[in-house]
Amino acid sequence: MNLYKNLKEGFVDSKPFLVSPNSEVIYSYADIDHLSGLVATHLAERGLVSGDRIFVQVEKSVNVVVLYLACLRSGIVYIPLNTQYLKHELEFFTADARPKIVITDKERKNTFERLTKTSDILILDELISISEKLKIPELNYELDEFSGDAAAAMLYTSGTTGKPKGAILSHKNLIANAQSLTHAWNWSQDDVLLHTLPIFHVHGLFVGLNLPLANGSSIIYLDKFSSQQVVNILPKATVFMGVPTYYVRMLSERALTKDSCKSIRVFISGSAPLQEQTFRDFKKKTGHEIVERYGMTETGMNASNPLQGLRKPGSVGLPLEGVQIRARTDSGHISKAGEPGEIEVKGQNVFAGYWNREEYRSRDFTEDGFFRTGDLGRIDSEGYLFLIGRKKDLIISGGLNVFPKELELVIDSFTEVKESAVIGLPHPDFGEQVVAVIVAEETSRLDKPMLINKMRNKIASFKIPKEVYFFDELPRNTMGKVQKNILRKKLS
């Protein structure tokens, strides 16, 4: 069960696949099929075989798409890394995943050279250039068959200890998700996706690429999001996907009107909660109701508001075809309609477990095979899912995950800090903002600018707190646990 072979059934060789904002064809389907085969051959000649892991930390470009497809063809496990990760974060990933090869750019090559002496480190553009000079590949990778459970990719997500965990996604997982989303969103060969998302996480990589590929659709490919540019290009597209922050910024553009959106079939939002006010403001200005969906690294997409039928503001919709969703209360019973609980999901889209974390499987999955998501929510009498919080205190800022424990470990390592607590608070643009509450040592002169500056060399920029408060002490319960709910209430 090869994901690439499955996707290729939707290819239309002569049709444009990646298109520039100026409507110039960058790659046709025939182009990417041929070039990804050459790259797969080149990687094989360097000794990579099915099951080997490959790190990819590069800025978004069309060549990243070619590399991703080459890995799918040859069974190499694709591991994309957020481009904002810094040395100490990459150190952990490298020791944990032990990649056979690293694909990066000139600016980051030196960092990886200091981290490892065993892995090859290749510049992406040079890899593509060398591959293009190869003869027609003798190896027909798209005909290779793997077990459906074979790993296609591994994405790192934060864990309860602050240590990231590698979620292994199989060919079967990604095929199931592409099929269910095609049906849910009525995706067709006639669609044109305006792609502005990063491609180091599920939303931009697996949803934003696999759906067009599986259906022979075209993609208008932007290296990054710009609200002005997006609004200007909307008339050329039929589908737009974004995080809530994108929609907030688009609303400020005067050019965003019902007329500019008349060619759009569906607007899709995910990766963070969409505020009801944003939903209503966008409908008023464009005539479109944004389709909010629910997914996560470990499962891909689980639920979506329907294209036909009621889209409930504040809800992430109904379970996708083949996905079961339920809620479980703290007392352990399955929640009744409207009763809050931890969300559990089951389906072909759900991963089998974390890399090198087999001992935690009984904690991550129920006895009957449901994955414990850590998200809190309720399911109404009509089956619509409403998320109400995150059991693990995960902060989602601008669509990117930030785990408080990881930041607290960094902050507490500074000699000027006695202790800290990191929380998420509402933000009109990013959805949530990272906020640090600090108890400084008595003799410390630490202030917000000093703390931010100290963190710049320790953590990715999107994780750095946007607000810092200094308290004499942190509120605690009788068991000594910091009461973050009190901090949120006090600072909101």
Which of 322, 287, 288 has the alpha carbon at shortest distance from 304? 322
pTM: 0.84
Residues 73, 164: Cα–Cα separation, whole Å: 27
Tokens of 75: 């069974």
Query: How large is the C-alpha radius of gyration of the chain?
Result: 23
Q: What is the 3-state secondary structure (H, E, C) of the chain?
A: CCHHHHHHCCCCCCCEEEECCCCCEEEEHHHHHHHHHHHHHHHHHCCCCCCCEEEECCCCCHHHHHHHHHHHHHCCEEEECCCCCCHHHHHHHHHHHCCCEEEECHHHHHHHHHHCCCCEEEEHHHHHHHHHCCCCCCCCHHHCCCCCCCEEEEEEECCCCCCCEEEEEEHHHHHHHHHHHHHHCCCCCCCEEEECCCCCCHHHHHHHHHHHHHHCCEEEECCCCCHHHHHHHHHHCCEEEECHHHHHHHCCCCCCCCCCCCCCCEEEECCCCCCHHHHHHHHHHHCCCCEEEEEECCCEEEEECCCCCCCCCCCCEEECCCCEEEEECCCCCECCCCCCEEEEEECCCCCCCECCCHHHHHHHECCCCCEEEEEEEEECCCCCEEEEEECCCCEEECCEEECHHHHHHHHHCCCCEEEEEEEEEEECCCEEEEEEEEEECCCCCCCHHHHHHHHCCCCCHHHCCCEEEECCCCCECCCCCECHHHHHHHHC
Looking at residue 449, its pLDDT comes to 93
Residues 9, 3: Cα–Cα separation, whole Å: 10
Residues 405, 401: Cα–Cα separation, whole Å: 12
C-alpha to C-alpha distances, 136 to 14, 29, 130, nearest whole angstrom: 19, 17, 13
Q: Are 334 and 324 in contact (CB under 8 A)?
A: no
In tens digits, what is the pLDDT along the chain, a chain of 492 residues?
789 989 999 999 999 999 999 999 999 999 999 999 999 999 998 999 999 999 999 999 999 999 999 999 999 999 999 998 888 889 999 999 999 999 999 989 988 888 876 669 999 999 999 888 876 655 555 556 778 899 999 999 854 445 789 999 999 999 999 999 999 999 999 999 999 999 998 999 999 999 999 999 999 999 999 999 999 999 999 999 998 889 989 999 999 999 999 999 999 998 877 878 889 999 999 999 999 999 999 999 999 999 988 998 889 999 999 999 999 998 899 999 999 889 999 999 999 999 998 887 888 999 999 999 988 889 999 999 998 766 767 788 888 878 787 888 889 889 899 889 999 999 988 889 999 999 998 888 999 999 999 999 889 999 999 999 999 998 876 445 678 888 998 998
Rounded to the nearest integer, the mean pLDDT of the chain is: 90
Which of 229, 314, 226, 233 has the alpha carbon at shortest distance from 269? 314
- Report all structural domains of the chain as residue ranges with CATH numbers, in order of start: 3-224 (3.40.50.12780), 395-491 (3.30.300.30)
Looking at residue 365, its pLDDT comes to 95
Looking at residue 143, its pLDDT comes to 55
Looking at residue 159, its pLDDT comes to 47
Which of 398, 393, 374, 418 has the alpha carbon at shortest distance from 464? 398
Looking at the DSSP bridge assignments, the partners of residue 239 are 193, 266
Residues 215, 7: Cα–Cα separation, whole Å: 8
Looking at residue 140, its pLDDT comes to 55
C-alpha to C-alpha distances, 242 to 60, 73, 270, 379, nearest whole angstrom: 16, 28, 7, 24
For residue range 117-176, list pLDDT tens digits in order: 666 999 999 999 988 887 665 555 555 677 889 999 999 985 444 578 999 999 999 999
Residues 389, 391: Cα–Cα separation, whole Å: 7
